[in-house]
Structure 1
Amino acid sequence: MKVGFIGLGNVGGKLAGSLLRNGIDVTVLDKKPELVAAFAKRGATPATDAAGLMRDCDVLITCLPSPAASSAVMAEMLPEIRPGKVWLEMSTTDDSEIRRLATLVEARGGTAVDCPVSGGCHRADTGNISIFAGCDRPTFERVLPLLKRLGRRILHTGPVGTASVLKVVTNYLATANLVSVCEALVTSKAAGMDMNTAYEAIKISSGTSFVHETEGQVILNGSRDISFTMDLVSKDIGLFQAIADRAGVPLEISPLLNEIFRDGQHRYGPRELSPNIIRRLEDATGLEIRAPGFPAEMVDDEPEEPGYEVVPTGIGRPAAAE
């Protein structure tokens, strides 16, 4: 099986690296030639355009920064889609847009799967990231062996579009937790707490979370580097708000989060690292939230393991997966 990969950024580059590490024949494309050249040195085949990549590959994966970018790439690839071709959309995107593009792919005899990832760049780098897959069950069974090479926990979410909805939901929750962690850390500092002790207290308590145990560390280090920026957070939580608006859900926290990150971009720039949203509170209080002994970036210390399908609680395992 020949796999094409478009988008070698912070997440995409690590996912493509997992394919190479696991012996998959990968051809890569990115708008930055230096990223393509780096992958070519690692054994990947460089591509010159999206249309040719779709023409030459059995499976084409995209991991791009916005729905607009995915749409533009699909416009190039679409004429080359034939029966048997599979498109895996691993970008965080709008569920209505992925459904629209999937319809175009299927009209030409191809197969579309929306399969965004979750768990952070450090887990994408080791192949331990989680993957949501939206498609029919036979398609899921077909792509599952490849997804097991890309990630560890693979969840079939239902039809195309469902994975993108759930990815946006989980990113919204992570953002809400990030803002609350920032408030908790700044308040602890203002109350005179030792920050190493405050971090540990939260970690061993009912207040702990994935965000606290990962992003909390790089916040206290001062690097704030999780390879994710404020503009991408704003995109994701904006997509979540749009889903709620379409469904008529009167959210209260979500509008405030959107305003907080709009303000963060205005103050510090759209490409500022997302954990630096804490600077709004540091600036307001004059406090510097730092502590010794924390890493500058997150590293996944779990060994890479073969991927497996996650079966939702209360739902029996599909017969085909027995």
Structure 2
Amino acid sequence: MKIGFIGLGSQGGPMAQRLCEAGHDMTLWARRAESLEPFRDGPAHVADSVAALGARCGIVAVCVVDDAGVEAMCADLIPAMAAGGIIIIHATVHPQTCVRLAEQAAARGIALVDAPVSGGGGGATAGTLTVMLGGCADAVATVTPVLRAFAGLIVHLGDVGAGQTAKLINNALMAAHMGLAHHALTAAAAMGVDRQALAALVKVSSGRSFGFDVYARQPDLAAFAHGARLLAKDVRLLGEVTGDTADYAALQGAAQPYLDHVADSHNLQPE
């Protein structure tokens, strides 16, 4: 089956490269011409529009930044794709965005699977991304062999939207871990404990987490400005999904002061 890929940024680009290297018949589209440069001498086709890509491909992966981008791509893809096709949403967006688009796609005989990923550009290049799937079993079974080109772990979590919900929870937990790390190391420094020594200790002790490791290796708050804005967006989206629950309040309470602190250090506002 011909596969299309939209969104060739720092993560989507390596994902598309892995698909090309796996021998799939690929068609690409990107807003920025420079994103296509790494594929210039390869076998992938380049479409001159999203609609043209959709008309050519039976499976189309969308790896853009946000809900508005996903909706814009699907507005062109859904009318262009043939019945029986599948759209894969790799962007991290509101679960209801995927549910709504899946309903529109189903009216034309097209399935939609939400498949946000974790692992970043490095994981995409190495083929070790974690893929969180939401969608019907048949569509998931069809796309899973394709996803193996860049995935180390693929988990089917439920119906459309479940993958996005899982990704938001994962990212909120990451933000909470980083927030706790910030408070722990700041408190330790205030009591005269060497920050670097304590960080090295925790990294091999029971208090360790991936979020702690990421926080501890940042030279200053400024270094995580972009990541903090993305996490702040995901914490906000999770709140829209869960509503004002005690569980969400606990996650947000651990994460938000740190995220706000990073934003304030750059005179930025969380997305």
Q: TM-score, normalised by structure 2?
A: 0.88
Q: Counterpart of 2:263?
A: 265
Query: How do 1:98-177 and structure 2 match up within 5 A?
Result: 98-177=98-177
Show the counterpart of 2:40. Answer: 40
CA deviation after TM superposition for structure 1 residue 25, in Å: 2.6
Hey, what's the Cα distance between the residues in 1 that align with 2:269 and 2:23?
34
For 1:40 and 1:188, locate their aligned partners in 2 and report how far apart those are by CA, in whole Å. 52
1:252 to 246, 249, 252: 249
| SS of equivalent residue, structure 1 residue 155 | strand
> Secondary structure in 1 aligned to 2:23?
coil
User: Does the Cα contact within 8 Å between 2:92 and 2:167 map onto a contact in 1?
Assistant: yes
Distance 1:95 1:118 in 2: 16
Task: Report how far residue 33 of structure 1 moved.
Answer: 1.2
- RMSD, aligned CA: 2.6
Could you tell me how far 1:263 is from its partner in structure 2? Answer: 5.5
1:177-208 Cα shifts (integer Å, max 9, x gaps) = 11222223333344444444322211111111
Conservation of the 8 A alpha-carbon contact between 2:29 and 2:48: yes
Contact persistence 1:88–1:112 (CA under 8 A)? yes
Distance 1:221 1:39 in 2: 36
C-alpha spacing 1:188/1:159, structure 2 compared with 1 (3 Å): same
Name the counterpart of 2:57.
57
- Given residue 99 of structure 1, which amino acid in structure 2 is its aligned partner? V
CA distance in 2, matches of 1:41, 1:269: 43
CA drift of 1:259 comes to 5.9
- State the shift of 1:222 in Å: 8.7
Q: What aligned pairs does 1:1-322 form with structure 2 within 5 A after superposition? A: 1-213=1-213, 215-216=214-215, 218-220=217-219, 224=223, 228-245=226-243, 249-250=245-246, 251-256=248-253, 257-258=255-256, 260-262=258-260, 264-268=262-266
CA distance in 2, matches of 1:18, 1:270: 35
CA separation in 2, counterparts of 1:267 and 1:154?
Answer: 37
Identity of aligned residues (%): 27
1:6 CA drift (Å): 0.7
Question: In the TM superposition, what whole-angstrom CA distance separates every residue of 1:291-313 from its partner, at most 9, and x where no partner exists?
Answer: xxxxxxxxxxxxxxxxxxxxxxx
Normalising by structure 1, we get a TM-score of: 0.75
State the alpha-carbon separation in 2 of the partners of residues 205 and 260 from structure 1. Answer: 23
Deviates more, 1:37-46 or 1:73-82: 37-46
1:151 Cα deviation from its structure 2 partner: 0.3
Taking the aligned partners of 2:132 and 2:98, their CA distance within structure 1 comes to 14
Match of 1:287 in 2: none
- The offset of 1:220, in angstroms, is 4.3
**Distance of 1:19 and 1:190 partners within structure 2:** 50
Deviation at 1:267, TM superposition (A): 4.2
Please tell me the residue identity of whatever aligns with 1:125. Answer: T
Q: Which runs of 5+ in 1 are unaligned?
A: 275-322
Amino acid at match of 2:95: D
- More relative contact order, 1 or 2 (CA 8 Å, 6+ apart): 1
Moved more, 122-131 or 187-196: 187-196
Counterpart AA for 1:224? A
Structure 2: unaligned runs, 5 residues or longer: none
CA distances 1:235-282 after superposition (whole Å, capped 9, x unpaired): 21111111121xx5244334544465356435415599x9xxxxxxxx
Cα pair 1:229 1:271 within 8 Å, conserved: no
Q: Secondary structure at the match of 2:84?
A: coil
The one-letter code matched in structure 2 to 1:268 is H
- Using the TM superposition, give the Cα deviation of residue 83 of structure 1 relative to its aligned residue in structure 2, in angstroms: 1.3
Deviations 1:147-183 (A, max 9, x none): 1112011111111111111111101001111122222
Q: CA deviation at 1:17?
A: 2.2
Count of paired positions: 269
